[in-house]
A and B are shown apart, each in its own frame.
Chain A
Amino acid sequence: MISARGLRKSFGDFEAVRGIDVSVRPGVAFGFLGPNGAGKSSTMRMICCVSPPSGGELRVFGMDPAKDGPKIKARLGVCPQEDTLDVELNVYDNLFVYGRYFGLPRAEVKGRIEELLDFVQLTDKAKAKVDDLSGGMKRRLTIARSLINRPEILVLDEPTTGLDPQARHVIWDRLFRLKQAGVTLLLTTHYMDEAEQLCDELVVMDQGRIVAHGTPLGLIQQHSTREVAELRFGVGEHEALAAKVEDLAERVEVLPDRLLLYSDDGEAVIEAVHSRDLSPVATLVRRSSLEDVFLHLTGRTLVD
């Protein structure tokens, strides 16, 4: 569906994407995980044919975005990072006008709007002004809008950034249904839980490069331990204390507010820490996540 080889994007002297290879197969939920500025959005914009690549090769549905932009876009659904809803039109007209841009007949668009409003639970808001919708509703409307042309690939750039937890779960549920219905999903996120829940396959991006590629579980197994013991000490003590617990785990990461001890048995690590007369303010044992994978690969956290 999508293939990129040595894909690059630069803005003046700044290289946003520094040669990435990606291949997305039909029906897969494919994620781009990385912090802000990793080059995720630049990559998405190139795939959506609104940003000419600076180098390398890119094919979407086997076509070249530089030549066949409109043809590719007819088969793509785009849910941009910022809602680009038309604030001068109401909810219904937003969908109607957008559907018509795809060259669909009026009757067909009307039928689809009914289905889509129902799908994103906005049927009773059809006549509402866009500005009167909550953040979560706007995002759901944007998703409904991106589905009006029955896209073969749905591109979602940070679909739940800025939403409250409840609204995020509603979005995830809808995306999950789309995935089950066989729509290829391409999404960027800097939330590891989102990537773990939704993605079959993902790449971790950092500073314009792909630093890892695999399934969420595979990446965790490959780059982290089964469990993590988190230790919280007084402010400023973490750096100094790291040396005293180093030998208790396979690996130790020092964060400004806590120590992370990577081990397959977290409880045992905590016990050992206490037996050394160290008394952390708080402790926590949890399973390794993609956050840990990212931390291990780049030495930095995802959300600053």
Chain B
Amino acid sequence: MALFTAAVGATVARPLRGGAAARLLLWRNILVYRRAWLVFITGFLEPVFYLFSIGIGVGAMVVGFEYAGKPVDYREFVAPGMIAASAMNGSLLDATFNFFFKLKYNKLYDQMLATPLRTVDIAVGEILWNQLRSGIYVTAFLLIMVAMDLVHSWWALLVVPAALLIGSAFGAVGMALTTYMTSWQDFEKVTLAMMPMFLFSATFFPVTAYPEWLRWIVEVTPLYRGVVLCRELTLGVPSWGSLVSVVYLLAFGAIGLVVVRRRLDSLLLT
């Protein structure tokens, strides 16, 4: 019976190269979400509702709003903030709750480590998935903005790669922190960190509204860097400051990746 005979030639099992291994993880997650698309969509809708309620509803009462010395439609000010927030949602939901479930309950990574996959493949694959989800959310969000006539610059197209950056930064750091969590109660901390970041990272009003010392604190949060980056792009006014945000987010993602890989080693290869 063919079942038990040793495999030959192209049918021999072998370790995958890094890129191929990470892509398989991505594909596994797509398979899962194909059957759970509702969960996928709800994460996307939250910032869209905020755009409608605060951007349009509250925005109708805001007159003479200025940003960087120029008069700006308040809706066009809030929308890029929501882009960054949806990129954060896209990655952080998977990087925290789902990652914890896979790690502790589904034992998914124990299963993968019985195959030629390595912990670095797992870390890279999951971060790629975080990025993909962020990218999909932001692309859809950009289309809504175009439909609402809130985009007037070609620079806006760059929010998609920006979303990938935001996705990898939040995904990697979110996963790194999740490896230290022991129970579902710990996730209250995630909610506790996400809520104020979402509300106060210059999403709904400019950072100049804060006193100097508080402003510094806000400016070093990763969501703030994402918000200003997206805003500079959708308003078509990129600057050297945009580059600072890019480097900042890249560094966040890279450090997170290293920590995640090491933590997976110490949790799973005992």
How many residues of chain A get a CB closer than 8 Å to chain B's CBs?
44
A122 CB-CB contact with B under 8 Å: no
- Number of residue pairs A-B, CB distance < 8 angstroms: 109
A6 CB-CB contact with B under 8 Å: no
Q: Are A183's CB and B270's CB within 8 A?
A: no
Residues of B within 8 A of A69 (CB): 118
- Among B3, B12, B108, B110, contact of A147 (Cβ-Cβ < 8 Å): B3
* Interface 9-mer from A86-94, A218-226, A238-246, A288-296: A86-94
Q: Are A105's CB and B10's CB within 8 A?
A: yes
Residues of B within 8 A of A85 (CB): 111
A116 CB-CB contact with B under 8 Å: yes
Q: Are B115's CB and A101's CB within 8 A?
A: yes
Residues of B within 8 A of A193 (CB): none
* Interface 9-mer from B14-22, B131-139, B153-161, B233-241: B14-22
Residues of A within 8 A of B32 (CB): 88-89
* Interface 9-mer from A48-56, A195-203, A228-236, A254-262: A48-56
- Among A50, A51, A74, A80, contact of B14 (Cβ-Cβ < 8 Å): A74
Q: Are A50's CB and B268's CB within 8 A?
A: yes
In Å, the complex CA distance between A146 and B4 comes to 12
B2-39 interface with A by 8 A CB criterion: 2-7, 10-16, 20-21, 24, 27-28, 31-32
In Å, the complex CA distance between A254 and B91 comes to 62
Residues of A within 8 A of B111 (CB): 84-86, 98
A46-80 interface with B by 8 A CB criterion: 48, 50-52, 69-71, 73-76, 78, 80
Q: Are B15's CB and A86's CB within 8 A?
A: no
A152 CB-CB contact with B under 8 Å: yes
Q: If A84-B111, A152-B6 touch, does A97 touch B13 (CB 8 Å cutoff)?
A: no
Residues of B within 8 A of A50 (CB): 110, 113-114, 268-269
How many residues of chain B get a CB closer than 8 Å to chain A's CBs?
36
A108 CB-CB contact with B under 8 Å: yes
B115 to A: closest C-beta gap in Å: 4
B27 to A: closest C-beta gap in Å: 8
Q: Are B110's CB and A84's CB within 8 A?
A: yes
Q: Are B3's CB and A115's CB within 8 A?
A: yes
In this complex, what residue of A is CB-closest to B28?
A97
A5 CB-CB contact with B under 8 Å: no
Q: Are A84's CB and B107's CB within 8 A?
A: yes
Q: If A78-B114, A86-B106, A108-B11 touch, does A101 touch B4 (CB 8 Å cutoff)?
A: no
Q: If A101-B117, A119-B3, A150-B5 touch, does A71 touch B270 (CB 8 Å cutoff)?
A: no
B40 to A: closest C-beta gap in Å: 13
A189 CB-CB contact with B under 8 Å: no
A-facing mask of B57-96, CB < 8 A → 1, else 0? 0000000000000000000000000000000000000000
Q: What are 29 A-B residue pairs whose CB atoms fall within 8 Å in the complex?
A: A11-B270, A48-B114, A50-B110, A50-B114, A71-B14, A73-B114, A74-B13, A78-B114, A84-B110, A85-B111, A89-B32, A97-B28, A100-B24, A100-B27, A102-B116, A103-B116, A104-B11, A112-B3, A115-B1, A115-B2, A116-B3, A149-B13, A150-B4, A150-B5, A150-B7, A150-B11, A178-B4, A181-B3, A183-B4
Supply 4 further A-B pairs (C-beta < 8 A) apart from A50-B110, A82-B107, A146-B114.
Answer: A84-B106, A84-B107, A101-B16, A181-B1
Where the two chains meet, the residues of A that have a C-beta atom closer than 8 Å to any C-beta of B are 11, 48, 50-52, 69-71, 73-76, 78, 80, 82, 84-89, 93, 97-98, 100-105, 108, 112, 115-116, 119, 146-147, 149-150, 152, 178, 181-183
